[in-house]
Protein backbone atom coordinates (compact mmCIF):
# COMPACT_ATOMS: atom_id res chain seq x y z
CA UNK A 1 0.00 0.00 0.00
CA UNK A 2 1.36 3.40 -0.99
CA UNK A 3 1.11 5.57 2.11
CA UNK A 4 2.48 8.59 0.20
CA UNK A 5 -0.58 8.80 -2.02
CA UNK A 6 -2.33 12.11 -1.41
CA UNK A 7 -6.00 12.37 -0.59
CA UNK A 8 -7.76 13.75 -3.72
CA UNK A 9 -10.25 15.59 -1.49
CA UNK A 10 -7.37 17.34 0.28
CA UNK A 11 -5.93 18.35 -3.09
CA UNK A 12 -9.28 19.82 -4.14
CA UNK A 13 -9.50 21.78 -0.90
CA UNK A 14 -6.04 23.22 -1.51
CA UNK A 15 -6.99 24.21 -5.05
CA UNK A 16 -10.16 25.94 -3.84
CA UNK A 17 -8.34 27.87 -1.10
CA UNK A 18 -5.55 28.89 -3.49
CA UNK A 19 -8.10 29.96 -6.10
CA UNK A 20 -10.01 31.99 -3.51
CA UNK A 21 -6.86 33.76 -2.40
CA UNK A 22 -5.76 34.51 -5.98
CA UNK A 23 -9.20 35.92 -6.77
CA UNK A 24 -9.09 37.97 -3.57
CA UNK A 25 -5.63 39.31 -4.35
CA UNK A 26 -6.64 40.17 -7.93
CA UNK A 27 -9.72 42.02 -6.69
CA UNK A 28 -7.69 43.91 -4.07
CA UNK A 29 -4.88 44.66 -6.54
CA UNK A 30 -7.40 46.47 -8.75
CA UNK A 31 -8.79 48.17 -5.64
CA UNK A 32 -5.25 49.18 -4.68
CA UNK A 33 -4.60 51.06 -7.92
CA UNK A 34 -8.06 52.64 -8.01
CA UNK A 35 -8.53 53.54 -4.31
CA UNK A 36 -5.71 52.65 -1.88
CA UNK A 37 -2.75 54.10 -3.76
CA UNK A 38 -4.17 57.65 -4.05
CA UNK A 39 -5.69 57.52 -0.52
CA UNK A 40 -4.62 59.78 2.32
CA UNK A 41 -4.22 57.63 5.44
CA UNK A 42 -4.18 60.78 7.56
CA UNK A 43 -7.52 62.09 6.32
CA UNK A 44 -10.17 62.78 8.97
CA UNK A 45 -11.49 59.22 8.58
CA UNK A 46 -8.10 57.64 7.81
CA UNK A 47 -6.07 55.04 9.68
CA UNK A 48 -3.44 57.44 11.04
CA UNK A 49 -6.09 59.91 12.17
CA UNK A 50 -7.94 57.20 14.11
CA UNK A 51 -4.70 56.03 15.71
CA UNK A 52 -4.10 59.59 16.90
CA UNK A 53 -7.30 59.26 19.02
CA UNK A 54 -8.25 62.82 18.11
CA UNK A 55 -10.22 62.53 14.90
CA UNK A 56 -13.93 63.10 14.34
CA UNK A 57 -16.69 60.93 15.77
CA UNK A 58 -17.98 58.39 14.79
CA UNK A 59 -14.84 57.53 12.76
CA UNK A 60 -12.82 57.50 15.99
CA UNK A 61 -14.89 54.57 17.27
CA UNK A 62 -13.76 52.30 14.40
CA UNK A 63 -10.54 51.13 16.02
CA UNK A 64 -10.16 47.47 15.05
CA UNK A 65 -8.48 47.66 11.63
CA UNK A 66 -6.18 50.57 12.59
CA UNK A 67 -4.92 48.53 15.58
CA UNK A 68 -4.41 45.40 13.44
CA UNK A 69 -2.68 47.48 10.78
CA UNK A 70 -0.44 49.12 13.39
CA UNK A 71 0.65 45.74 14.80
CA UNK A 72 1.35 44.34 11.32
CA UNK A 73 3.35 47.43 10.39
CA UNK A 74 5.74 47.16 13.37
CA UNK A 75 8.40 45.11 11.50
CA UNK A 76 8.49 47.86 8.85
CA UNK A 77 9.27 45.52 5.95
CA UNK A 78 6.53 46.77 3.64
CA UNK A 79 5.35 50.20 2.50
CA UNK A 80 2.14 51.13 4.36
CA UNK A 81 -0.19 50.91 1.38
CA UNK A 82 1.26 47.60 0.16
CA UNK A 83 0.71 46.22 3.66
CA UNK A 84 -2.89 47.36 3.55
CA UNK A 85 -3.28 45.70 0.13
CA UNK A 86 -2.19 42.36 1.60
CA UNK A 87 -4.40 42.81 4.67
CA UNK A 88 -7.35 43.56 2.38
CA UNK A 89 -6.65 40.44 0.29
CA UNK A 90 -6.70 38.26 3.42
CA UNK A 91 -9.99 39.82 4.55
CA UNK A 92 -11.63 39.28 1.14
CA UNK A 93 -10.35 35.69 1.12
CA UNK A 94 -12.16 35.06 4.42
CA UNK A 95 -15.30 36.71 3.00
CA UNK A 96 -15.33 34.04 0.28
CA UNK A 97 -14.74 31.26 2.81
CA UNK A 98 -17.54 32.39 5.13
CA UNK A 99 -19.97 33.15 2.31
CA UNK A 100 -19.47 29.63 0.97
CA UNK A 101 -20.48 28.37 4.43
CA UNK A 102 -23.64 30.49 4.22
CA UNK A 103 -24.53 28.90 0.89
CA UNK A 104 -24.14 25.48 2.50
CA UNK A 105 -26.98 26.48 4.84
CA UNK A 106 -29.21 27.13 1.82
CA UNK A 107 -28.06 24.40 -0.54
CA UNK A 108 -26.40 21.69 1.59
CA UNK A 109 -24.29 19.30 -0.42
CA UNK A 110 -24.32 21.47 -3.54
CA UNK A 111 -21.05 21.17 -5.44
CA UNK A 112 -21.72 24.54 -7.08
CA UNK A 113 -21.46 26.40 -3.77
CA UNK A 114 -17.69 26.59 -4.23
CA UNK A 115 -18.25 28.58 -7.43
CA UNK A 116 -21.41 30.44 -6.39
CA UNK A 117 -19.59 31.91 -3.39
CA UNK A 118 -17.43 33.91 -5.78
CA UNK A 119 -20.52 35.81 -6.93
CA UNK A 120 -20.24 38.05 -3.87
CA UNK A 121 -17.30 39.69 -5.64
CA UNK A 122 -19.66 40.94 -8.37
CA UNK A 123 -21.46 43.64 -6.32
CA UNK A 124 -18.20 44.33 -4.46
CA UNK A 125 -16.46 45.06 -7.77
CA UNK A 126 -19.13 47.58 -8.70
CA UNK A 127 -19.34 49.30 -5.32
CA UNK A 128 -15.66 49.39 -4.40
CA UNK A 129 -13.84 49.59 -7.74
CA UNK A 130 -15.98 50.59 -10.71
CA UNK A 131 -18.16 53.23 -9.03
CA UNK A 132 -15.98 54.19 -6.09
CA UNK A 133 -13.10 56.60 -5.52
CA UNK A 134 -13.27 56.84 -1.71
CA UNK A 135 -11.08 54.92 0.71
CA UNK A 136 -12.35 53.66 4.05
CA UNK A 137 -10.24 51.14 5.90
CA UNK A 138 -13.22 49.34 7.45
CA UNK A 139 -15.22 48.55 4.29
CA UNK A 140 -14.08 44.98 3.61
CA UNK A 141 -13.90 44.05 7.28
CA UNK A 142 -17.50 45.28 7.64
CA UNK A 143 -18.56 42.84 4.92
CA UNK A 144 -16.65 40.05 6.65
CA UNK A 145 -18.09 40.67 10.11
CA UNK A 146 -21.65 40.95 8.86
CA UNK A 147 -21.29 37.84 6.67
CA UNK A 148 -19.91 35.89 9.64
CA UNK A 149 -22.68 37.18 11.91
CA UNK A 150 -25.29 36.22 9.33
CA UNK A 151 -23.82 32.70 9.16
CA UNK A 152 -24.02 32.37 12.95
CA UNK A 153 -27.67 33.44 12.91
CA UNK A 154 -28.41 30.77 10.31
CA UNK A 155 -26.52 28.19 12.40
CA UNK A 156 -28.36 29.40 15.54
CA UNK A 157 -25.10 29.76 17.45
CA UNK A 158 -26.04 32.74 19.60
CA UNK A 159 -23.03 32.58 21.94
CA UNK A 160 -20.60 32.94 19.04
CA UNK A 161 -22.85 35.60 17.51
CA UNK A 162 -22.50 37.74 20.65
CA UNK A 163 -18.70 37.52 20.46
CA UNK A 164 -18.56 38.36 16.75
CA UNK A 165 -21.09 41.17 17.27
CA UNK A 166 -19.05 42.72 20.08
CA UNK A 167 -15.79 42.60 18.09
CA UNK A 168 -17.59 43.78 14.95
CA UNK A 169 -18.78 46.90 16.76
CA UNK A 170 -15.13 47.91 17.25
CA UNK A 171 -14.78 47.64 13.48
CA UNK A 172 -17.93 49.59 12.57
CA UNK A 173 -21.21 50.02 14.38
CA UNK A 174 -23.34 49.14 11.32
CA UNK A 175 -23.00 45.47 12.25
CA UNK A 176 -25.99 46.38 14.45
CA UNK A 177 -28.16 45.56 11.42
CA UNK A 178 -27.68 41.93 12.41
CA UNK A 179 -30.22 42.65 15.18
CA UNK A 180 -33.19 43.05 12.79
CA UNK A 181 -31.72 40.15 10.79
CA UNK A 182 -31.88 37.98 13.92
CA UNK A 183 -35.49 39.09 14.47
CA UNK A 184 -36.44 38.44 10.83
CA UNK A 185 -34.93 34.97 11.05
CA UNK A 186 -36.95 34.26 14.20
CA UNK A 187 -40.15 35.96 13.04
CA UNK A 188 -42.28 32.91 13.86
CA UNK A 189 -41.13 33.14 17.52
CA UNK A 190 -40.74 36.90 17.68
CA UNK A 191 -42.72 37.23 20.93
CA UNK A 192 -41.11 34.28 22.66
CA UNK A 193 -39.06 34.94 25.79
CA UNK A 194 -35.95 33.48 24.17
CA UNK A 195 -36.01 35.78 21.12
CA UNK A 196 -36.90 38.87 23.15
CA UNK A 197 -34.08 38.22 25.64
CA UNK A 198 -31.47 37.53 22.97
CA UNK A 199 -32.49 40.53 20.86
CA UNK A 200 -32.44 42.73 23.96
CA UNK A 201 -28.94 41.53 24.83
CA UNK A 202 -27.65 42.52 21.37
CA UNK A 203 -29.31 45.93 21.71
CA UNK A 204 -27.78 46.35 25.18
CA UNK A 205 -24.29 45.51 23.89
CA UNK A 206 -24.73 48.07 21.11
CA UNK A 207 -25.94 50.80 23.47
CA UNK A 208 -23.14 50.08 25.96
CA UNK A 209 -20.52 50.20 23.21
CA UNK A 210 -21.83 53.52 21.90
CA UNK A 211 -22.01 54.93 25.43
CA UNK A 212 -18.48 53.85 26.34
CA UNK A 213 -17.03 55.20 23.08
CA UNK A 214 -18.92 58.47 23.49
CA UNK A 215 -17.56 58.88 27.02
CA UNK A 216 -13.95 57.99 26.15
CA UNK A 217 -13.90 60.33 23.15
CA UNK A 218 -16.32 62.92 24.50
CA UNK A 219 -13.89 65.75 23.71
CA UNK A 220 -13.44 64.71 20.07
CA UNK A 221 -15.24 66.79 17.45
CA UNK A 222 -18.19 65.37 15.51
CA UNK A 223 -21.44 63.57 16.29
CA UNK A 224 -22.15 60.12 17.71
CA UNK A 225 -23.63 59.22 14.29
CA UNK A 226 -23.34 60.75 10.84
CA UNK A 227 -26.37 62.84 9.90
CA UNK A 228 -27.06 62.38 6.19
CA UNK A 229 -30.74 63.22 5.70
CA UNK A 230 -30.18 66.71 4.29
CA UNK A 231 -27.68 65.45 1.73
CA UNK A 232 -30.00 62.60 0.73
CA UNK A 233 -32.98 64.92 0.27
CA UNK A 234 -30.89 67.24 -1.89
CA UNK A 235 -29.77 64.23 -3.92
CA UNK A 236 -33.36 63.12 -4.51
CA UNK A 237 -34.33 66.61 -5.64
CA UNK A 238 -31.51 66.73 -8.18
CA UNK A 239 -31.29 63.03 -9.03
CA UNK A 240 -32.04 63.27 -12.75
CA UNK A 241 -29.95 66.39 -13.26
CA UNK A 242 -26.76 64.79 -11.99
CA UNK A 243 -25.03 62.04 -14.01
CA UNK A 244 -23.01 60.80 -11.01
CA UNK A 245 -26.14 60.45 -8.88
CA UNK A 246 -27.89 58.45 -11.61
CA UNK A 247 -24.85 56.22 -12.13
CA UNK A 248 -24.27 55.52 -8.44
CA UNK A 249 -27.93 54.86 -7.64
CA UNK A 250 -28.97 52.71 -10.59
CA UNK A 251 -25.70 50.80 -11.04
CA UNK A 252 -25.36 50.19 -7.31
CA UNK A 253 -24.44 46.50 -6.70
CA UNK A 254 -24.20 46.14 -10.49
CA UNK A 255 -28.03 46.34 -10.48
CA UNK A 256 -28.22 43.03 -8.57
CA UNK A 257 -31.05 44.56 -6.49
CA UNK A 258 -33.36 43.89 -9.45
CA UNK A 259 -33.37 40.19 -8.58
CA UNK A 260 -34.23 40.93 -4.95
CA UNK A 261 -37.34 42.76 -6.18
CA UNK A 262 -38.24 39.99 -8.64
CA UNK A 263 -37.89 37.36 -5.93
CA UNK A 264 -40.05 39.44 -3.57
CA UNK A 265 -42.79 39.51 -6.23
CA UNK A 266 -42.61 35.74 -6.56
CA UNK A 267 -42.75 35.29 -2.79
CA UNK A 268 -45.75 37.60 -2.58
CA UNK A 269 -47.47 35.40 -5.16
CA UNK A 270 -46.92 32.34 -2.98
CA UNK A 271 -43.63 30.97 -4.26
CA UNK A 272 -42.04 28.29 -2.09
CA UNK A 273 -38.43 27.30 -2.72
CA UNK A 274 -38.10 23.58 -1.91
CA UNK A 275 -35.86 22.91 1.06
CA UNK A 276 -35.47 26.59 2.01
CA UNK A 277 -37.55 28.03 4.83
CA UNK A 278 -39.03 31.52 4.76
CA UNK A 279 -36.76 32.41 7.70
CA UNK A 280 -33.68 31.86 5.55
CA UNK A 281 -35.16 34.06 2.84
CA UNK A 282 -36.44 36.89 5.02
CA UNK A 283 -33.12 37.36 6.81
CA UNK A 284 -31.79 38.83 3.56
CA UNK A 285 -34.57 41.40 3.24
CA UNK A 286 -33.14 43.34 6.16
CA UNK A 287 -31.65 45.49 3.41
CA UNK A 288 -35.05 47.23 3.29
CA UNK A 289 -34.61 48.29 6.95
CA UNK A 290 -31.08 49.39 6.07
CA UNK A 291 -32.34 51.67 3.30
CA UNK A 292 -35.22 53.10 5.33
CA UNK A 293 -32.96 54.01 8.26
CA UNK A 294 -30.16 54.88 5.89
CA UNK A 295 -31.85 58.04 4.68
CA UNK A 296 -30.85 59.50 8.07
CA UNK A 297 -27.38 58.00 8.60
CA UNK A 298 -25.79 57.09 5.24
CA UNK A 299 -25.21 59.02 2.03
CA UNK A 300 -27.04 57.03 -0.63
CA UNK A 301 -24.75 58.06 -3.48
CA UNK A 302 -21.63 56.97 -1.56
CA UNK A 303 -21.68 53.42 -2.93
CA UNK A 304 -19.03 52.02 -0.59
CA UNK A 305 -21.32 52.39 2.47
CA UNK A 306 -23.47 49.37 1.60
CA UNK A 307 -21.04 46.79 3.00
CA UNK A 308 -23.60 44.79 4.98
CA UNK A 309 -25.84 44.43 1.93
CA UNK A 310 -23.29 42.46 -0.11
CA UNK A 311 -24.12 38.98 1.28
CA UNK A 312 -27.86 39.76 1.42
CA UNK A 313 -28.28 40.82 -2.21
CA UNK A 314 -25.95 38.11 -3.50
CA UNK A 315 -27.96 35.46 -1.64
CA UNK A 316 -31.26 36.83 -2.95
CA UNK A 317 -29.87 36.68 -6.48
CA UNK A 318 -28.81 33.05 -6.00
CA UNK A 319 -32.21 32.22 -4.47
CA UNK A 320 -33.92 33.78 -7.48
CA UNK A 321 -31.63 31.76 -9.76
CA UNK A 322 -32.57 28.60 -7.86
CA UNK A 323 -36.22 29.06 -8.91
CA UNK A 324 -35.12 28.30 -12.47
CA UNK A 325 -32.08 26.06 -11.98
CA UNK A 326 -32.00 23.13 -9.56
CA UNK A 327 -29.06 23.77 -7.22
CA UNK A 328 -29.47 20.70 -5.01
CA UNK A 329 -27.12 17.93 -6.20
CA UNK A 330 -26.69 14.41 -4.86
CA UNK A 331 -23.09 13.93 -3.80
CA UNK A 332 -20.72 11.03 -3.73
CA UNK A 333 -18.86 10.26 -0.50
CA UNK A 334 -15.76 12.01 -1.90
CA UNK A 335 -17.81 15.13 -2.64
CA UNK A 336 -19.29 15.12 0.86
CA UNK A 337 -15.82 14.89 2.38
CA UNK A 338 -14.73 17.80 0.18
CA UNK A 339 -17.64 19.96 1.32
CA UNK A 340 -16.88 19.12 4.96
CA UNK A 341 -13.18 19.79 4.53
CA UNK A 342 -12.16 16.24 5.36
Does a structural domain hold residue 337? no
DSSP annotation of 156? T
Question: Helix (H, G, I), strand (E, B), or coil: what is residue 241?
Answer: helix
- Is residue 342 situated within a structural domain? no
- pLDDT at position 9: 67
Output the pLDDT for position 6: 59
In a domain, 340, yes or no: no
pTM over 0.85: yes
User: Looking at the 3D structure of the chain, how many domains does it have?
Assistant: 1
Question: Does any domain span residue 168?
Answer: yes
Question: Residue 67 has what pLDDT?
Answer: 97
Phi/psi at 57 (nearest 5 deg)?
Answer: -80, 150
Helix 158-171 vs helix 139-155: crossing angle, to nearest 10: 170
Q: For residue 336, is it within any domain?
A: no
Q: Going residue by residue through the chain (342 aa), what tens digit of pLDDT does each one get?
A: 454 455 666 788 899 999 999 999 999 999 999 999 999 988 888 999 999 999 999 999 999 999 999 999 999 889 999 999 999 999 999 999 999 999 999 999 888 999 999 999 999 999 999 999 999 999 999 999 999 999 999 999 999 999 999 999 999 999 999 999 999 999 999 999 999 999 999 999 999 999 999 999 999 998 888 788 888 888 888 888 888 888 988 999 999 999 999 999 999 999 889 889 999 999 999 999 999 888 888 888 889 999 999 999 999 999 999 998 876 544 434 444 544 544
Contact assessment for residue 123 and residue 143, using Cβ atoms and an 8 Å cutoff: no
Residue 192 included in any domain: yes
Residue 8: per-residue pLDDT: 66
pLDDT at 231: 85
The interaxial angle of helices 64-73 and 80-106, nearest 10 deg, is 130
Domain hosting residue 125, numbered range: 8-331
Is residue 1 in some structural domain? no
Amino acid sequence: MNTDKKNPTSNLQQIVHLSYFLLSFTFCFLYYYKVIKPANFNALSGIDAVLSFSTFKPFQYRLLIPFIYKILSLPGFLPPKVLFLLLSAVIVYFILIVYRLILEEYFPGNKLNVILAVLILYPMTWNYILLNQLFSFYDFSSILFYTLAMYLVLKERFGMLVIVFAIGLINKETIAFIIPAFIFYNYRRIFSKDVIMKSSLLVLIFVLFKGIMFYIFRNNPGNIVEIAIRGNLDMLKNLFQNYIYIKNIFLNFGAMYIFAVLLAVKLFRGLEIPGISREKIYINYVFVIYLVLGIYIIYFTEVRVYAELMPMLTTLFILYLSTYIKLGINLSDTDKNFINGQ
